[in-house]
Amino acid sequence: MSKARATLEQARHKNPGSEQLWLAAVRTEQRAALPKAADSLMAKALQVRRRSPALLILYCRQQRCSCIVLEACSVSCDSLC
């Protein structure tokens, strides 16, 4: 896990706006059973990519939010299924 974490961190520093890199980093921490680290990365990701539908969907799944949050991003609740 530490190699994957280090590689993703380097890639995010070179390309901080990459939605896919943020998603991969958050999911890596989730798979490692480190929810606090995943939450911290998600917070940073949402600061960098505020209107990212994929990040918002993952965030809502993590937090079990209502679909109202996704309306700000024009993502329908149907896309969660």
* Predicted pLDDT at 26: 92
Reported as a single tens digit per residue, the pLDDT across 31-64 is 888 889 988 999 899 889 888 888 888 887 777 6
* Predicted pLDDT at 20: 92
The torsion angles phi and psi of 72, rounded to 5 degrees, stand at -65, -20
Angle (nearest 5°) at CA 23 between 10 and 38: 85
Amino acid making up residue 35: P
Q: How far apart are CA 10 and CA 81, in angstroms?
A: 32
Domain coordinates in residue numbering, the chain: 2-80
